[in-house]
Structure 1
Amino acid sequence: MSDERRADDQRVTVRQAVEEDDAALLAIERVAWDASSGFPSYSETLQDTFFTRSGPEAHLVAEYDGKVVGYLRLQDKYPFPEGAGVLAINGIAVAPEARRLGVGNALMTATTAEARSRGARKITLHVHGVNTPARQLYERHGYVVEGIHPAEFLIEGTPVDALDMAKTL
């Protein structure tokens, strides 16, 4: 991302991640997910570094009043030329204490701008069907459901649908 982007209230800033964000992002990763938004077993796989799966270049970071409070992982969806221009949101998390402060909104707005700056034509994501707050956030930003995978996951004994959502730019 070439520049910082601020939310309307000027308290949320979104920027490209840097290596120095590792500890703050790992702390968010450890507390941000629950059975409605992620996989409880995932927390057992966390390492001592956030950037194990992908480096800072794949992440936008949200700060609220200068404190790191969230991230969004944005990556090419496909490794082959026919899929060029399709990006995937492979994770978005906001620290529990920063929810309902416009952080998710700021991340989604910055993601659209970032995708356009990369020449993307589409952004996709996956979300649990029971994650109503996330679904509403995505819908406010123009994402639509493109597919539903009924009972795709069994989380804490409950079948959970997986939804594919996307936005055409």
Structure 2
Amino acid sequence: MSATEVTVRQAVESDDAALLAIEKVAWTAMSGFPSFQELLTETFFTRSGPEAHLVAEHDGAVVGYLRLQEKYKFPEGAGVLAINGLAVAPRARRLGVASALLQAATTEGRRRGARKITLNVHHTNLPARHLYERHGYIVEGTHPREFLIEGAYVDALTMSKTL
């Protein structure tokens, strides 16, 4: 699989089962929150609907998603979008899926007239950090000992990209 074989589109309701399956296997203590797995319901779209998600496909199968939302709900924060989740099915990792999703998020952000896209990542998630840096994201802030995951403190990093 190469990035040219990956297509990205807006999510639709019928993607629910495929996205839930990815959500159940994509996150580890290095990248996410183990307790969140216990909260997964029968539907992926509990937290936000299809309109907030870009979906990556390969050979007609859903292999990843990116949740892109307004960061702030008030006018002064207009123009700042947040990536509130990016996951790739384990079988499709390191094959260009996440890059295709990040490129699509940049395109969508520009289409919406955004000035900035921001995200949070665990400092322990080096592969994701390097991916974001390759796509022009820079560290804006460090939140030391933000989370206690499996007995270890994890710093949260805020990264952003100016459009």
Query: Alpha carbon RMSD of aligned pairs, Å?
Result: 1.1
1:76 lines up with 2:70 in the alignment: yes
Corresponding position of 1:164: 158
Structure 1 runs of 4+ off > 2 angstroms?
7-10
1:25 lines up with 2:14 in the alignment: no
1:101 lines up with 2:91 in the alignment: no
Q: How many residues of Structure 1 are paired with residues of Structure 2 in the alignment?
A: 163
Secondary structure of the equivalent of 2:15? helix
Structure 2 counterparts to residues 31-46 of structure 1, below 5 A: 31-46=25-40
Q: Which runs of 5+ in 1 are unaligned?
A: 1-6
Q: CA deviation at 1:10?
A: 2.5
Q: CA deviation at 1:8?
A: 6.6
Instruction: Report percent identity of matched pairs.
Output: 75
**What is the CA–CA distance in structure 2 between the aligned matches of 1:137 and 1:112, rounded to whole Å?**
14
Q: 1:71 to 1:9 in 2, by over 3 A?
A: closer
Corresponding position of 2:128: 134
**What is the CA–CA distance in structure 2 between the aligned matches of 1:160 and 1:110, rounded to whole Å?**
29
Instruction: Give the TM-score taking structure 2 as reference length.
Output: 0.98
Instruction: Give the TM-score taking structure 1 as reference length.
Output: 0.94
Q: Which runs of 5+ in 2 are unaligned?
A: none
Correspondent of 1:53 among 47, 50, 53: 47
Corresponding position of 2:83: 89
Correspondent of 2:145 among 146, 151, 154: 151
Correspondent of 2:115 among 107, 110, 121: 121
**What is the CA–CA distance in structure 2 between the aligned matches of 1:8 and 1:134, rounded to whole Å?**
18
